Amino acid sequence: MKTQIPGALIFLRLIIGLIIIVLSCLHIDYYKIIAITFLIIGLLTDFFDGTIARHLNISTQNLRRLDSTVDQIFFISVIIATYIHCPEFFKTNAFKLKILIGSEALTYLISFLKFRKEIATHSIGAKIWALLLFATFIQITIQCQSALLFNICFWVGLLTRIEIITIVLILKEWTTDVPSFYHARKLRQGKEIKRYKMLNG
């Protein structure tokens, strides 16, 4: 039963993303409070699915790939819901948003072209960006605007996408849980790398 917890948390995050879209379409009362609550729950499931899997020694490649895929679906769902709730923010920041989305798509394209598999590096930089992204979504949900936080999120997101592309280009073989491009270089040289129990692998 314990071994099913990580998978259940991953699918819970998928369901949460879809629920947020429905709630935004319905324009329900107290949407902001409910949406932020679901965002926090989604963030917690993202943290605990991997932590529990590693603790139980069941952090398989398939589970990590599923985690990455659901992460993308979840974030896309949150973007859609936030757009429905605050369309003006997206119109005002359309250029930067297109760059971010394009850079994210580029990481997947390069990974598929090289390895025929999706991204699953779970780098430390990407995790930091995910936290900034959550904070930015919360601010937008509350205020329908974000200036300083969004700009920080934009530049950190761009830098971490560049790092992920660098990791993919450096690696000889598709690998999950690569903390940084430095660790990718060590893997390319055939060396062991230190992974962090609370963060990856």
For the cut 70, the answer to whether the pLDDT of residue 199 exceeds it is no
Q: What is the pLDDT of residues 45-57, one digit of tens each?
A: 988 888 888 888 8
Inter-CA distances, 173 with 18, 63, 160, 161, Å: 34, 18, 20, 19
Is 177 in a helix, a strand, or coil? Answer: coil
Choose among 143, 154, 137: nearest CA to 20.
137
The sign of the torsion formed by the CA atoms of 64, 122, 43, 161 equals negative
112 is written with which tokens?
């598929």
Task: Give dist(CA 151, CA 77) in Å, integer.
Answer: 21
**Average pLDDT, stretch 19-37?**
95
Task: Give dist(CA 171, CA 115) in Å, integer.
Answer: 10
Inter-CA distances, 23 with 26, 27, 38, 78, 94, Å: 5, 6, 11, 11, 24
**With bands split at pLDDT 50, 70 and 90, how would you rate the model's confidence at 83?**
very high
Q: Kindly give, in sequence order, each residue whose CB lies less than 8 Å from that of residue 165, ignoring residues fewer than 6 positions away.
A: 106, 107, 110
With beta carbons less than 8 A apart as the criterion, state whether 107 and 114 touch: no
Residue with tokens 């999120």: 153
**Structural domain boundaries in the chain:** 1-85, 87-201
Q: What is the pLDDT of residues 101-127, one digit of tens each?
A: 999 999 999 999 999 998 888 899 999
**With bands split at pLDDT 50, 70 and 90, how would you rate the model's confidence at 64?**
confident
Q: What is the pLDDT of residues 86-106, one digit of tens each?
A: 999 999 999 999 999 999 999
